[in-house]
Structure 1
Amino acid sequence: MHTAASPGAAPLGADPLQLERDHLASSRAALRAMREDAESLDLRDVTGTWVSAAVLQRQVEQRIAALADMAHTPLFFGRLDYLHAISEELAEGGKGERFYIGRRHVHDAGGDPMVIDWRAPVSQPFYRASRTEPLDVEKRRRFGYTGGELTAYEDENLSDPAETDTASALLAAEIEKPRVGPMRDIVATIQPEQDEIVRAEIGGTICVQGAPGTGKTAVGLHRVAYLLYAHRERLAKSGTLVVGPNSSFLHYIEQVLPALGELDVAQATVQELVKHVEVRGEDSAEAASVKGDARMAEVLRRAVRSGITLPTEPLVVQRGSRRWRLPTYELAEIVEELTSREIRYGAAGEALPQRIAHAVLLKMEQGGEAPDDRVQDAVARNPQVKAAVKACWPPVDPAKLVHRLLSDAAFLAACAEGILTEEEQAVVLWPKPGRSVRTAPWTAADAVLVDETTDLVRRTPSLGHVVLDEAQDLSPMQYRAVGRRCSTGSATVLGDLAQGTTPWATGSWAEALHHLGKEGAHVEELTKGFRVPEEVIAYASRLLPAIAPGLAPATSVRDAPGSLTIARVSPEALDPAVVEACRAALEREGSTGLIAADARIDALGELLTEAGLPFLDPGTETSAEARLTLVPASLAKGLEYDYVVLEEPAAVVAGEPDLRTGLRRLYVALTRAVSGLAVVHAEPLPAELG
């Protein structure tokens, strides 16, 4: 494999590196021209309504924002030299055989492409081509950057049988680049197995079981970017959403999609999706588990329909000088028919007065009158009809109904008969219910119940695509809440069964996908790691037989001897050893995370302050002044740091309600490091680590 000169060395021959730098400069100039063209558009004379003008103005503003040139982000990261000409359609207007692959499309003044969007079909061989399947690619070139400057290149001559496969130095350097600031995109380093998931069709749901460091989160985000490119008009109407486990995680990933030119993807936690009531209480693990059980859906369905009653008297409607009588049995038949159809409670309640009015109109026709639709609408609004509807099908306020269910033991017993045991009913009841919805001790699990009830009353709008990350930690009822948001769309489900740290963590993806409403989803497993060094992931994988015996241990493409150190010290030497480990990590380039049991965070914060080491909260962007983040073990999931100092693994395990959950929490903490992990402990390590 031919590699260009490293930064500072003179390239051989006709200075191809300078030619590539010239193309980069020309491409940046072309991008600036594209942005200036968009900024110069005059929309004052655009015909149409003010609404269409406002929509057009917003589209132009989005276009201008998407054309921003990020000075420290490479405009292109690769080049493909094809053996044969590519069609103009696939080449996005290009007529040659050479294409520069980058984060967005850039064309010159004549419309010819200077950089091809990584999502375009012609770019796919950059990720998929190999010596065994070159896909008509003669040469694949990767570029190396320092800051925003192009400093090196590296070629793979895929059509040359004399060349042998060797590891890409630039690819490894990009993967190992220090993690300073929020999560970066991986568009330059997407691997073939990842690319297959990214480019999968929009119609199906994909579930990705990914070991730590396999890039499952990045794959999910790049899949959203790809789908928006391939199905922009469709998803612009229906919307897209990324669901993460907490706000720190969402803050960590929030710059990935904008860096790829996608600015309109919503992000939320599950709790933000179900924010119908103000959460001010906290459940025990047992109560949260019962409330999160899928059986609660049937309990709520019964509660919603508990107010439906059959009429006991006929309905008499006064119209002018005449009165029309609807017998009790006919009125009951209408109510029973709507009840049997299992349509949304609110929709049925709206249909009921029209059904009754239609039955009254039939009486009118039999009496010699000729009523029309306007008469039917008038009858549906008749006070007698409205009173009958309210008596048979009373309106339901979801929050008030759940409030009653969780505070009224008799009502809960009636709705949960044959579903929840008496012990389970006692667990979910509030010990001190508030007198009203506003003062009730709502918990996070209660909010999900309110969301389920809201959907029983009125259908939740569905989005075109939802990405659900760290999905292994959701309860069945939370899966249902997310599933409602993509009931007519598709989803990308990301997670790792070995990292499930809630008492209700899912046992299998088949079970999770069932609750999500996506039973036919395809499950992909990523086991090849790119982030965590082999020495670290092998050590953490010692826990797998205890926490996820069905999963294969992950491997890593990165062999970094010395990336794992384990130091046992005396109890009185623990604090100084932790400070020293943090200082040693901070001497190196990149970010450092100090991960510890939640109960130790306050004390460690004081320790770091006394030691003169400034530190950040999880999700906060690092800077030259502060590159150390103090991370509670409960918030470590999904985050990554160049160097991790893990304090007292035994305390991390002991901080959870049971051993298995504690070991899973430890597995998460052990796998956050990109370049090095230092374990510092005074207590014996858990036996499961060997």
Structure 2
Amino acid sequence: MTGGHPDLPREREHLAGTIDSMTRRILQLEDGLQDVGADEDTAFVQRLDNEAEAQQLSVHLKAPYFGSMLVRARGRTQRLYLGRYPYYDPQGAFTVSDWRSPVGQLFYTDAVAWDKGEIHLKRQLDVRDRELTALTDLYVRGEGAAAAEAAREEVLVRRLSEGATSGMRDIISTIQPEQAALIQAPGTRPLVIQGPAGSGKTSLLFHRVAYLAYEDRGDGRLDPKNTLVLVPNRVLAGYARRVLPDLRIEGVTVATPDDWMTEQLGLNAEVTDKTLTLLLGNADREVKRRAWLRAKALGDARMLDVLRESILRRYRDTLGREAFETTVTAAEHDYTLTYDAARLLALLDHAAASSLLTGVREAFTRRLVERAWQDLHASGVPESAYRAVLAQLEHDAARLAQRAFRAASPITEVRRLLREPGELAASARGILPDARVRALLTPDPAAHLPTARTGSVDALELPLMLAVKAVQEGIGRKNARGAAAYDHVLVDEGQDLSPLLYRLLADVAPRGAVTVAGDINQGIHGYRAVSFWTEALDQLRVTPDDQVRHLRRTYRSTRQIVHLASGVARSFSRDEAQEAEAVPRDGQNVEVLEGGPLMERAARAVRAAREAGFENVGVIVRHARDCETVARALGERDIDAAPIDTEQKRYAGGVVVIPPNLSKGLEFDAAVIVGADTASYPHDVEYETRLMYVAVTRGMHALWLLPDGELHPLLRQPELVG
């Protein structure tokens, strides 16, 4: 509540005092008073620090905090204020604590006690442009859980009723208990999150990075510069990067899975997906079935072992014709060491089991040098000669490895193996089930489809190529010792990654330091991706107790939109994707505009959305090729709309025309579905139905359906459609 709250005058006075204290601090920093008397170099560094602090404080001056807690600890009662950016007031009265601090995290949960004390009050403070606009007590000691839940819901609904922005939704002030539990989960155990559209998964991932990167976390703190976040497309990558400065995390690598893999491979190539083209364009069900099974087999996590066996088979053959001989001089004596092929092959087998961060060639070379030094030292070479002997051993071992391990490029290796059924079958025997081997040996049903004139790789090939590189050379290394490339890896829309890619990702971060979020219902690449979350978790698992975690509520859309979307999802939903529970926020009924020219109806829907106060409107068309045409048609009707038809284009708010695959992770005040019919989304193709589900879940407050002909049968829900 606001106007009648007895603490409102005191809270307004405290806000004014905090702003005044922060303003004085900003002026002090800008005047440079802190570097008086320092030497020139120290003064320069101090000025940079002052400038950065002043800039941060200036950003948060309009809303220095969002909540407070009355805490009883060690016999004292004090009030703590929580904000996005911490501020220390030398006098103590106007200090703001970081939302990520241990006591700050209690604000988001139902907990009211911790090892140092007890919480007597949790209070939400909505501050806008230096004004306290709303005050709500989330918890008051002595009141029941129902009152606390109702208060938190009141704040949430109020916040969700606001308009969408061109950046990611800021959830710091309204993180819900179910979200807080996942944000605060240990970074040393794999976290796989299933959540419906609009459950805040993308925002949760970035807030989790901020939480795990909190300065006071000590040894468990991750470095944002060593953090990898994978998102489904470049539009969302650009969209996501703009939220990072507000969360005070910089340097995070944000990329699409394809971009990350091509960067690891050093490729500058277009990524195509011929299997998808075939599945959508070929009417022969048997051909589709074979293509689907083949794609599933190629994405199997055990393909890493198949590729490893194929490569090692060739390495064993060449190494079996080699011998290693080295002569070193130490203490005026020459020492000669010789290993025959059998000894070398034993070292190779030992090296082959090492980390993917290293690669077989380097692991073998290192093991050979270690073994050779041990044997030479045992035969009399003194410890004092270690450095000189090591240099000679490394030189001789490298020459042997160069002769024995002449590796083809990952592209050549993968394509050669896929063209040679005999070797493929021999390498897969005992690793893959017979059905998977038969699927691999099936000639590619999509081979006849045209490819790009310039260099290109197929989406099915990329994880295989990365696996080859991992076996041969290693992937993602941060240093020569093979330390993990990333402190943590986070994956958004993880339902569209293959089990093989998850197996590779598990090795570029410390064991268990992987967070995955997604919605099985939004999976649009089931033919080459996980079918169930356990397929991902099995590659990341640290203990048998690791389980998939669930978000059940959707915070994005109104009750009407959520219920309509749930009806679409029921047609293909799996058990592990539980039906979304809508926040009790009502809006207008979903509107269907039928009859008359399609573009006239589209223009009418956009105008209606703008007149209702919706600034950001997503006009969603089935195909990217239609974006320019629709945007031009809207322009001819005095509506400025930006087409986003490629991943290179940036979403900056306003009216945009976008296909559903590029809209994943984005949200709009209102969504207009141009082509809400079976011609655009054939009802007998699950891929198309999943895309339609993505489309109808983009709108926060309003949704217009514009069929070209009859409305799609899954969208006919009279109680929700006006």
Q: Tell whether the 8 Å contact from 2:192 to 2:515 is kept in structure 1 after alignment.
A: yes
The Cα offsets for residues 408-430 of structure 1, whole Å up to 9 and x where unpaired, read as 67765665567533764632997
Name the residue aligned to 1:201. Answer: 186
Name the residue aligned to 1:334. Answer: 344
Q: Tell whether the 8 Å contact from 2:537 to 2:548 is kept in structure 1 after alignment.
A: no
- The partner residue of 1:220 within 202, 205, 212 is 205
Q: Tell whether the 8 Å contact from 2:327 to 2:335 is kept in structure 1 after alignment.
A: yes
The Cα offsets for residues 509-530 of structure 1, whole Å up to 9 and x where unpaired, read as 1111123455653322111222
Following TM superposition, by how much is the alpha carbon of 1:318 offset from its aligned partner in structure 2, in angstroms? 7.1
Moved more, 667-676 or 334-343: 334-343
SS of residue matched to 2:186: coil
Moved more, 438-447 or 585-594: 438-447
SS of residue matched to 1:630: strand
* Counterparts of 1:149 and 1:253, CA distance in 2: 28
Q: State yes or no: 1:479 paired with 2:489.
A: no
Q: Tell whether the 8 Å contact from 1:586 to 1:628 is kept in structure 2 after alignment.
A: no
Change (3 A) 1:414 1:63: farther
Q: Tell whether the 8 Å contact from 1:648 to 1:682 is kept in structure 2 after alignment.
A: yes
* Counterparts of 2:270 and 2:326, CA distance in 1: 48
Change (3 A) 1:464 1:44: farther
Following TM superposition, by how much is the alpha carbon of 1:563 offset from its aligned partner in structure 2, in angstroms? 4.0
Q: Tell whether the 8 Å contact from 2:30 to 2:51 is kept in structure 1 after alignment.
A: no
* Counterparts of 1:352 and 1:394, CA distance in 2: 18
Change (3 A) 1:128 1:59: farther
Following TM superposition, by how much is the alpha carbon of 1:661 offset from its aligned partner in structure 2, in angstroms? 1.4
Mapping 1:284-363, distance limit 5 Å: 284-285=274-275, 286=291, 289-305=296-312, 306-309=314-317, 310-312=319-321, 330-342=340-352, 343=354, 344-351=359-366, 354=369, 357=372, 361=376
Following TM superposition, by how much is the alpha carbon of 1:484 offset from its aligned partner in structure 2, in angstroms? 2.7
Q: State yes or no: 1:280 paired with 2:305.
A: no
- The partner residue of 1:659 within 685, 693, 701 is 685
Change (3 A) 1:160 1:177: same
Q: Tell whether the 8 Å contact from 1:474 to 1:506 is kept in structure 2 after alignment.
A: yes
Following TM superposition, by how much is the alpha carbon of 1:454 offset from its aligned partner in structure 2, in angstroms? 2.0
Following TM superposition, by how much is the alpha carbon of 1:148 offset from its aligned partner in structure 2, in angstroms? 5.1
SS of residue matched to 2:597: helix
TM-score (structure 2 length as normaliser): 0.79
* Counterparts of 1:108 and 1:288, CA distance in 2: 60
The Cα offsets for residues 613-666 of structure 1, whole Å up to 9 and x where unpaired, read as 11124573546xxx211111111211100111112223586379x611111111
Mapping 1:505-584, distance limit 5 Å: 505-516=529-540, 520=544, 521-550=546-575, 551-567=577-593, 569-570=594-595, 572-584=596-608
Change (3 A) 1:443 1:109: same
Q: State yes or no: 1:609 paired with 2:635.
A: yes
Following TM superposition, by how much is the alpha carbon of 1:143 offset from its aligned partner in structure 2, in angstroms? 2.3
Q: Tell whether the 8 Å contact from 2:621 to 2:627 is kept in structure 1 after alignment.
A: yes
Q: Tell whether the 8 Å contact from 1:35 to 1:67 is kept in structure 2 after alignment.
A: no
- The partner residue of 1:267 within 254, 274, 278 is 254
* Counterparts of 2:637 and 2:557, CA distance in 1: 29
Name the residue aligned to 1:211. Answer: 196
The Cα offsets for residues 309-339 of structure 1, whole Å up to 9 and x where unpaired, read as 25457666678999998788x4322323422
Q: Tell whether the 8 Å contact from 1:653 to 1:663 is kept in structure 2 after alignment.
A: no
* Counterparts of 1:417 and 1:178, CA distance in 2: 57
Aligned-partner residue type, residue 470 of structure 2: D
The Cα offsets for residues 537-562 of structure 1, whole Å up to 9 and x where unpaired, read as 11111123322131321111233142
Q: How many percent of aligned residue pairs carry the same amino acid?
A: 26
Q: Tell whether the 8 Å contact from 1:130 to 1:158 is kept in structure 2 after alignment.
A: no
Name the residue aligned to 2:68. Answer: 79
* Counterparts of 1:117 and 1:354, CA distance in 2: 50
SS of residue matched to 1:426: coil
Q: State yes or no: 1:682 paired with 2:708.
A: yes
Change (3 A) 1:300 1:319: same
Aligned-partner residue type, residue 380 of structure 1: L
* Counterparts of 2:633 and 2:110, CA distance in 1: 52
Name the residue aligned to 2:222. Answer: 235
SS of residue matched to 1:484: coil
Following TM superposition, by how much is the alpha carbon of 1:565 offset from its aligned partner in structure 2, in angstroms? 1.8
Aligned-partner residue type, residue 497 of structure 2: L
Q: Tell whether the 8 Å contact from 1:282 to 1:444 is kept in structure 2 after alignment.
A: yes
The Cα offsets for residues 554-600 of structure 1, whole Å up to 9 and x where unpaired, read as 11123314242223x23x43221111001111121431111110153
Q: How many residues align?
A: 656
TM-score (structure 1 length as normaliser): 0.82
Q: State yes or no: 1:120 paired with 2:108.
A: no
The Cα offsets for residues 477-532 of structure 1, whole Å up to 9 and x where unpaired, read as 22233323324351221111111011324221111112345565332211122221
The unaligned stretches of length 5 or more in structure 1 are: 6-10, 48-52, 88-94
Following TM superposition, by how much is the alpha carbon of 1:358 offset from its aligned partner in structure 2, in angstroms? 5.3
* Counterparts of 1:511 and 1:643, CA distance in 2: 35
- The partner residue of 1:467 within 490, 498, 502 is 490
Q: Tell whether the 8 Å contact from 2:565 to 2:696 is kept in structure 1 after alignment.
A: yes
Q: State yes or no: 1:600 paired with 2:623.
A: no
Aligned-partner residue type, residue 273 of structure 2: D
The Cα offsets for residues 133-156 of structure 1, whole Å up to 9 and x where unpaired, read as 9x9444333223444543332335
* Counterparts of 2:372 and 2:515, CA distance in 1: 46
* Counterparts of 1:608 and 1:586, CA distance in 2: 14
What CA RMSD, in Å, does the superposition of the two structures yield over aligned residues?
Answer: 4.2
- The partner residue of 1:246 within 233, 237, 240 is 233
* Counterparts of 1:679 and 1:262, CA distance in 2: 39
